[in-house]
């Protein structure tokens, strides 16, 4: 496993703007291929996060999330800092056009994204023992999956995004596997697999046929816990690469 500091080829301001104004046009850097998004290799991006193909397919009653990179997916994780404040999260993310209500959040709460993340300084999957050692609260450094709801927040930096905070005292609708954090985040326990430079996750749904209009994109990014561990709690700090190049969500569900 390697722990490195990565460059920022794309400013998070572009990420936020594109997510809020998701148009149908394809970017020059990415194009649809059998419903997926193919992207040119980028030498400036660390290979484990250099997205070259992004796809979501249906398989029986599940969506299968797939992301191919030019290097070895999952090879690089954040360096452990020993504290929550300021700690980093590395992620493979599929922003989608799905309403957050599809997975148990309030309708129209923000941008629903599926993410595979690793963060050795904290654990946010209290229902699952990913490393199999009998302890439920020490698995953050193992790659695992989340649903998150994103919104822009200037407190994270100009034009930047955050995982939506839950204000103290509010009681929004939340998924059954919500991990107890004051964020719109779900920890459903769907385990990612890494093979041949790709990350793949099978995610069951009650009614996959109702999701046929799904649109998506692919992003590799780093998030950071606020130094004050307060709202905003978790901000998008670096964007390594966007599959489409402009976050227009050009991907269509591949049946």
pLDDT per position as a tens digit, 53-76: 999 999 999 999 999 999 999 999
User: Is there a domain that residue 133 lies in?
Assistant: yes
Domain presence at residue 2 = no
Q: How far apart are CA 95 and CA 21, in angstroms?
A: 13
> What pLDDT, on a 0 to 100 scale, did the predictor assign at position 30?
52
Confidence at residue 21, expressed as pLDDT on a 0 to 100 scale: 38
Q: What's residue 153's pLDDT?
A: 95
Domain residue limits at 49? 12-75+86-252
More confident position, 5 or 191: 191
Query: pLDDT tens across 179-212, in order?
Result: 999 999 999 999 999 998 999 999 999 999 999 9
How many folded domains does the chain comprise?
1
pTM metric for this prediction = 0.87
pLDDT band at 127 (very low <50, low <70, confident <90, very high): confident
Determine, yes or no, domain membership for 81.
no
Give 123-132 contacts, CB < 8 A, sequence gap 24+: 124/179, 124/181, 124/185, 124/187, 125/179, 125/187, 125/189, 126/179, 126/180, 126/187, 127/177, 127/179, 127/187, 127/189, 128/187, 128/189, 130/191
pLDDT of res. 34: 60
């Amino acid at each position: 496993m390697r722990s490195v500091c990565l460059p920022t080829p794309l400013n998070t301001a572009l990420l936020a703007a594109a997510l809020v104004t998701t148009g149908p046009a394809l970017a020059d850097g990415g194009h649809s291929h059998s419903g997926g998004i193919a992207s040119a290799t980028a030498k400036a991006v660390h290979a484990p996060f250099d997205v070259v193909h992004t796809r979501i397919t249906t398989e029986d009653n599940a969506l299968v999330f797939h992301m191919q990179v030019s290097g070895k997916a999952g090879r690089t994780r954040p360096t452990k800092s020993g504290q929550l404040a300021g700690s980093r999260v590395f992620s493979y993310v599929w922003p989608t056009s799905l309403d957050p209500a599809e997975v148990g959040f309030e309708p129209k709460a923000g941008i629903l994204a599926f993410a595979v993340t690793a963060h050795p300084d904290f654990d946010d999957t209290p229902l699952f023992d990913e490393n199999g050692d009998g302890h439920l609260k020490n698995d953050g450094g193992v790659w695992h999956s989340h649903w998150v709801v994103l919104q822009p927040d200037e407190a994270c930096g100009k034009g930047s995004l955050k995982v939506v905070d839950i204000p103290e005292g509010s009681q929004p609708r939340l998924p059954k596997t919500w991990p107890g954090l004051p964020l719109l985040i779900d920890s459903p326990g769907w385990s990612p697999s890494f093979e041949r430079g790709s990350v793949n996750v099978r995610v069951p749904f009650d009614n996959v046929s109702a999701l046929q209009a799904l649109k998506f994109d692919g992003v590799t990014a780093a998030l950071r816990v606020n130094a004050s561990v307060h709202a905003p709690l978790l901000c998008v700090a670096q964007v390594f690469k966007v599959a489409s190049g402009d976050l227009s969500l050009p991907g269509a569900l591949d049946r």
